[in-house]
Amino acid sequence: MTNNSTGTPQSETNKAIGTMSTETVSSGQNTQLPISEQLSDNIEYLEKTFAGSSDIVFKHWNYGPELQYTACSVYYESLVQEDTENYMKITLQDLVMHEVGPGMEATPQDIRGFFEHDGVSGKKASVITDLLQLVDHISNGRLIIVFEGWNKGLSYKAQSVETRQVSESVNESVVQGPRESTVENLQKNLGLLRLRLKTPKFKIEMITAGGETKTAVAYGYIEDVVDKEMLAEFKNRIAQIADLEVLETSYIEQIIEDSTYSPFPQHRYTERTDMAVAGMLEGKIAVLVQGTGGILLCPGLFTEFFQSSEDYYQRTVNSTLIRWLRIVAFLIALTLPSVYIALSTFHPELIPTVLLLAVLNAREGIPLPAFFEALLMEFFFELMREAGVRLPRPVGSAVSIVGALVIGDAAISAGIASPIMVIVVALTGIASFSIPQYNIAISLRILRFPLMISAAVMGGFGMMICFLFILLHLCKLRTLGQPYLAPLAPLRLSELRDVLIRVPLKTLLRSPRDLHKHKHKPVK
């Protein structure tokens, strides 16, 4: 096999191909553009399409008994293996070694007959007939080979981009249980799910999103478990991403959610394959996107955000107590600053006398009212938390800890904040960290400030009004047609075994089909 950089003169077909602009390719139109039998026509079209890309490679080579026939390999050197030439020689050994069949000499006619009747020689290869498909395959990291005298091309899977290996989940660490997490490779993630769901009823459907990124999006469900009406509604909503540039799983969440401006998340995220499989066994739909490691579980109910995978790997009593602890932490993170403001400003008679004296002594000399004091401390706490997240990990934790100590001590020494307010803000932050799902903790950070304002304006009465609005919003909220507060509202007694308490596994574990029978239809 030898390299050859010479081409054939331009033909009439070449002129026809040249008249088609590259905008047709990028626009995603379903236009058919057959591959020409003239190799120079195809190469000119590809060179025009990929003009300006320094990492595109056109490798011309010869084959046949006297190396008189020409072919060309096209690929992105930034996406395929470094030993692409060796790979090509191995996968095309039928041509190079003249083994296309008895009595054949590897002429273009022999190649055409061999590949069209006997199939390609590589396991991960395909024969394509359209130039637009050639462009898509090259863009997806495949090696393309086109031949002189044949109006088809060969596409070999040769992509070799380094990705993160399967490791322990960072955001959902556990003491007991499996530790594998998803990665940014879609096929690996689907394989991890297939290893846990060894049933043909586990269905996976693929969608390509966007005209430029062509991001691969997959969603999976268990056929006999998922609610048919909910699945139909999900498919209707996710079909909207076909024309949108999707880069991350959160894009899908914001497109298919029922209430865009609700502070409450309506779908769950997980990096753990065991959590994703458990969700699908309960009738959820798992959404995965190429290039991101998170799995989106649809729909996500309010009570499910207090559950962790470790709840099912520990004893019943321990899991139930921890779940109650999370509920208390949720209430603390939501209401503690506003309760302090309401009691110290409007209802001091509700505070025990000894504690009231301690509060008055601590606030003596503080120039700011309790509301502005709490608002200032909450602002600085949120600022330090955001700085700790954005900074590099070794530096971020040190900055957040040292910053909290220094700023808290300096605020007390300067008389800007009282020691009790520093304790209240610190306990609020710690309580928000105790909730397993990060996106529900963000909701608390948003709702905390309206509660503080209502407590500062009308005390406990204002807090109750604000709570009623939140409760009305939660009762009205739907996610893929399911009531957000289910199974609490509407009350479903058969599903309360895993809400406030976690019953023993011998009672909790049932066939997914039995669970599906007891589920109500989506509320419209």
SS3 sequence, 285-320? EEEEECCCCCEEEECCCHHHHHCCHHHHCCCHHHHH
Residue 149 shares a structural domain with residue 200: no
Q: What is the per-residue pLDDT for 23?
A: 43
Shared domain for 296 and 321, answered yes or no, is: no
- In this prediction the pTM is 0.78
Find residue 298's DSSP bridge partners: 285
Contact indicator for 209, 241 with CB cutoff of 8 Å = yes
Q: What string of DSSP letters covers 181-200?
A: B--S-HHHHHHHHHHH--ST
Domain boundary among 267, 300, 333: 300
Q: Does residue 284 sit within a domain?
A: yes
pLDDT tens digits along 394-423? 666 666 667 777 777 888 888 888 888 888
What does DSSP assign to residue 20?
S
Q: Does the residue 435 lie in any domain?
A: yes
Residues 23, 123, single domain; the answer is yes
Structure confidence at residue 469 as a pLDDT band (50, 70, 90)? very high
pLDDT value at position 510? 64
Q: Averaged over 79-105, what is the pLDDT?
A: 55
Is 264 inside a domain boundary? yes
Average confidence score pLDDT of the chain: 81
pLDDT at res. 85? 56
- Does 385 reside within a domain? yes
376: three-class secondary structure by DSSP:
helix
112: domain range?
12-157
Write out the two tokens for 273.
């394959």
CA distance 266 to 479: 6
Shared domain for 350 and 435, answered yes or no, is: yes
**Residue 21 in domain:** yes
**Domain tally, the chain:** 3
pLDDT at 124 over 60: yes
Q: Are residues 21 and 120 in the same domain?
A: yes
Query: Tens digit of pLDDT for each residue in 161-189?
Result: 666 777 777 777 777 878 888 888 888 89
360 in the same domain as 288: no
> Do 333 and 429 belong to one domain?
yes
- Whether 424 is covered by a domain: the verdict is yes
CB 344 within 8 A of CB 363: yes
Rounded CA-CA distance 238/256 in Å is: 6
Q: 250, 272, 300 — which closes off a domain?
A: 300
From 93-97, 124-128, 468-472, the region with the lowest mean pLDDT: 93-97
pLDDT band at 339 (very low <50, low <70, confident <90, very high): very high
Residues 445 and 410 occupy one common structural domain: yes
* Whether residue 457 sits in one domain with residue 348: yes
- Is 286 within the bounds of a domain? yes
Per-residue burial over 20-37, b if 16 or more Cβ lie within 10 Å, else e, is beeeebeebeeeebebbb
Is 356 found in the same domain as 225?
no
Question: pLDDT digits over 132-148, tens only?
Answer: 989 988 888 888 889 88
Torsion from C-alpha of 373, 375, 381, 385, nearest 10 degrees = 180
Q: Sorting pLDDT into bands at 50, 70 and 90, what band is 76?
A: confident
In a domain, 355, yes or no: yes
Which of 105, 136, 157 is the C-terminal boundary of a domain?
157
| Residue 322 confidence (pLDDT) | 92
CB under 8 Å to 100, separation ≥6 — which residues? Answer: 94, 106, 110, 111, 114
Do 276 and 326 fall into the same domain?
A: no
| pLDDT at 31 (0 to 100) | 67
Cα–Cα distance measured from residue 152 to residue 127, given in angstroms and rounded to the nearest whole number:
7
Question: Are 120 and 193 in the same domain?
Answer: no
